[in-house]
Amino acid sequence: MLIELQGVGKSFASRSVLQSVDLSLVPGRIVTLIGPNGAGKTTLVKIVLGLIQPDTGRVQRSAQLRVGYMPQKLHIDPILPLQVERFLQFANTDSGECLAALQRVGVAHLIKQPVSGLSGGEMQRMLLARALLRKPNILVLDEPVQGVDVTGQEALYQLIGELRDELDCGILMVSHDLHLVMAATDEVVCLNQHVCCHGTPQQVSVDPEFVALFGAKTALYTHRHDHEHDLDSGIVSASGSLSCQLDSPQYGSSDKGASPSDAKGRRRADV
Amino acid sequence: MYDFLYLALLAGFGVAIVAGPMGSLVAWQRMAYFGETLAHGALLGIALGMWLAWSNSLAVILVCLLIAALLIAFERQKLLATDTVLGILSHSSLALGLIALTLIPGARTDMEALLFGDILTVTVAEVAVVWLMAFGVLIALWRLWPGLLAITVHEDLARVEGVAVDRFKIMLKLLLALVVAISMKVVGVLLITALLIIPAATARHFAKTPEQMAALASVVAILAVCTGLAASWWVNTPVGPSIVVSGSLFFIVVFLGFGRQV
């Protein structure tokens, strides 16, 4: 057990944001937090990180806890001259280790680049490298694929999965996009101020509370998915959540050996 | 016979050296308005000093620190945006300071010197205070630098990595208050922010690391002090504004000449 939350509640200015939330993070397991805007995802992450204290409930942390945190968004003003290497050295001053971390996330060539000029995907990988430099046994990733195109998102989720295996660390991810994250996670916690439902992606995606919250988005997922694989595009939202659940493993496996026609289809779907 | 000129140069250099790193931090953390508010508050410090017949330097330093503490406390409230709070405090303290200075009986005040600086009348004791404070602030910045940079980049990330974010933020503001207090004699309350921001912005074009920017900003500020004093000497322009205009000219030359490379 790395971190355990029991009955955690938090209010801001007498408005309740979280109510009796239970959450437990263990080594080797990816937990994904999903929920609509205002569901309290960020608040919950901050409680997990120890940045804010809950009003009610208990937070237990392992004594050996080393947290690697990847924030939601990093905006470096161009007025601050900062190279990637220097950015990483805030976490670990050893240049060799900084380079190794960048190599692990596949962007070693950026080491001397200014941070303010990085693309969305490069930025996310650099942030992930900084989290790794702490030699974490828990990674907290707040919207890790934000600002990354679809192909990059999938590669990033795959990298996160590999890191989990290598480090045997627990991972808490936040996401509000559903289609790719479902395939990349062991457990989904659906949050809307309280825990609506949780379980494996397969369990959660047929849960009535989940369907009530994400019905429209799930339909969107099915739609994109169909285009990406050039399958019959006639499927609509009626059985949306079911088809998404059945399709997701297929999606993951077929994309590893992506054929040229797949890639073309995806590009068309993105337009 | 040129003693006053040497003293002016000495005072200007003391302020310029510390204005480099502090100005860079102000630019990175977008604290220009905060500095402006402190500077306007310094006028109240002068009034207080005259009223209590204290040394001006001491009164200004105390009032600047007090206002910084007040602003730190105000920032915790959520009712008004920080920008609005600064706007209210900045201009009311300027207005209040101006009124207080005219009300104090027997105080013959040269308002222009307060608003735009009066470096040519600086005394040996004042130069000593400038250098003492500048030295102290530089040492503090040196020691706090990694933490100050870390909170500039991302506060929550720094906090997760074990940086005492709130302590660093308070220290930065108190140090800025000290820099504002010693800059007052050189460029006056209305131009202090310019002396902080312009050299830093000029240095940005040549810097690859935060430290390079801070050091280069000090060099630019020193050049601006020299050029401003020279202009004042040969063309008889007011010194404070001349220093700021020199800095602005450097900035424009760099911006036009090198802007596209960055």
Residue B232 lies in a domain: no
Judgement on whether residues A121 and A210 belong to the same structural domain of the protein: no
pLDDT, block means (10 residues), chain B with 262 residues: 86 96 96 92 84 78 88 82 88 89 74 85 91 96 96 93 93 94 88 95 94 97 96 92 95 83 49
**A69 in B contact zone (CB under 8 Å):** yes
Q: What's the pLDDT score for residue B244?
A: 95
Judgement on whether residues A234 and A192 belong to the same structural domain of the protein: yes
Q: Which residue of chain A is at minimal alpha-carbon distance from B200? A: A79
* Min distance A93 CA to chain B CA atoms (Å): 11
Judgement on whether residues A143 and A127 belong to the same structural domain of the protein: no
Q: Which residue of chain A is at minimal alpha-carbon distance from B206? A: A81
Residue of B29, B156, B260 for testing the chain A interface, max A β-carbons within 10 Å = B156
Which residue segment(s) compose the domain that A96 sits in?
Answer: 74-135
Residue B248 lies in a domain: no
Of A90, A113, A135, the residue at which a domain comes to its end is: A135
Judgement on whether residues A196 and A87 belong to the same structural domain of the protein: no
Give me the CATH number covering residue A128: 1.20.1580.10
* 8 Å CB contact of B28 and A71: no
The CA distances from residue A96 to A100, A102, B213, in Å, are 6, 10, 25
Of A114, A135, A156, the residue at which a domain comes to its end is: A135
Name residues 186-215 of chain B within 8 A of A (Cβ): 200-201, 204, 207-210, 212-213
- Pick from B157, B159, B213: CB nearest A81: B213
Residue B66 lies in a domain: yes
* 8 Å CB contact of A81 and B204: yes
Instruction: Give the ipTM of the model, two decimals please.
Output: 0.87
Beta strand A30-34 pairing with A187-192: parallel
Q: Which residues in chain B touch residue A87, judged by CB atoms under 8 angstroms apart?
A: 153
Which residue segment(s) compose the domain that B106 sits in?
Answer: 3-189
Residue B9 lies in a domain: yes
Judgement on whether residues A184 and A93 belong to the same structural domain of the protein: no
Give me the CATH number covering residue A239: 3.40.50.300
Judgement on whether residues A170 and A118 belong to the same structural domain of the protein: no
Q: Say if CB A66 and CB A137 are below 8 A apart.
A: yes
Q: Which residues in chain A touch residue B213, judged by CB atoms under 8 angstroms apart?
A: 81
Q: Does the pLDDT at position A184 exceed 90?
A: no
- Pick from B28, B150, B159: CB nearest A80: B28
Q: Which residues in chain A touch residue B78, judged by CB atoms under 8 angstroms apart?
A: 13
Judgement on whether residues A174 and A240 belong to the same structural domain of the protein: yes
The CA distances from residue A231 to A13, A224, A255, A259, A265, in Å, are 50, 10, 14, 15, 10
Residue of A80, A140, A142 for testing the chain B interface, max B β-carbons within 10 Å = A80
At A56, give phi and psi (nearest 5°): -130, 165
Residue B199 lies in a domain: no
Q: Which residues in chain A touch residue B209, judged by CB atoms under 8 angstroms apart?
A: 81-83, 86
Q: Give the residue-averaged pLDDT of A50-77.
A: 91
* Min distance B63 CA to chain A CA atoms (Å): 31
Q: Which residues in chain A touch residue B153, judged by CB atoms under 8 angstroms apart?
A: 74, 76, 80, 82, 87, 90
Residue B138 lies in a domain: yes
Q: What's the pLDDT score for residue B108?
A: 62
* Min distance B256 CA to chain A CA atoms (Å): 17
Q: Which comes out higher in pLDDT, residue A240 or A122?
A: A122
Longest dimension (CA), chain A: 55
Beta strand A138-142 pairing with A170-175: parallel
Q: Which residue of chain B is at minimal alpha-carbon distance from A70? A: B157
Confidence at A57, pLDDT banded by 50, 70, 90: very high
Residue B239 lies in a domain: no
Tally the domains of chain A: 2
Q: What's the pLDDT score for residue A96?
A: 93
Of A96, A117, A135, the residue at which a domain comes to its end is: A135
Judgement on whether residues A170 and A220 belong to the same structural domain of the protein: yes
**B261 in A contact zone (CB under 8 Å):** no
Q: Which residues in chain A touch residue B154, judged by CB atoms under 8 angstroms apart?
A: 71, 74
Which range, of A133-142, A166-175, A221-230, B50-59, averages the lowest pLDDT?
A221-230
* 8 Å CB contact of A80 and B157: no
**A12 in B contact zone (CB under 8 Å):** no
Give me the CATH number covering residue B116: 1.10.3470.10
Residue B72 lies in a domain: yes
Tally the domains of chain B: 1
* 8 Å CB contact of B78 and A86: no
- Pick from B28, B154, B160: CB nearest A74: B154
The contacts of residue A23 (CB under 8 Å, 6+ apart) are: A3, A4, A5, A8, A31, A44, A48, A189, A195
Q: What's the pLDDT score for residue B174?
A: 93
Can you list the pairs that B126-133 forms with residues at least 24 positions away whose Cβ atoms lie under 8 Å?
B126/B11, B126/B57, B126/B185, B127/B7, B127/B10, B127/B11, B127/B14, B129/B57, B129/B182, B130/B10, B130/B11, B130/B14, B130/B15, B130/B182, B130/B185, B131/B10, B131/B14, B133/B18, B133/B61, B133/B178, B133/B179, B133/B181, B133/B182
Q: What's the pLDDT score for residue B215?
A: 97
Judgement on whether residues A150 and A250 belong to the same structural domain of the protein: yes
Judgement on whether residues A196 and A253 belong to the same structural domain of the protein: yes
**A152 in B contact zone (CB under 8 Å):** no
Judgement on whether residues A106 and A191 belong to the same structural domain of the protein: no
Q: What's the pLDDT score for residue A270?
A: 38
Judgement on whether residues A50 and A173 belong to the same structural domain of the protein: yes
Q: What's the pLDDT score for residue B166?
A: 92
Q: What's the pLDDT score for residue A235?
A: 41
* 8 Å CB contact of A90 and B208: no
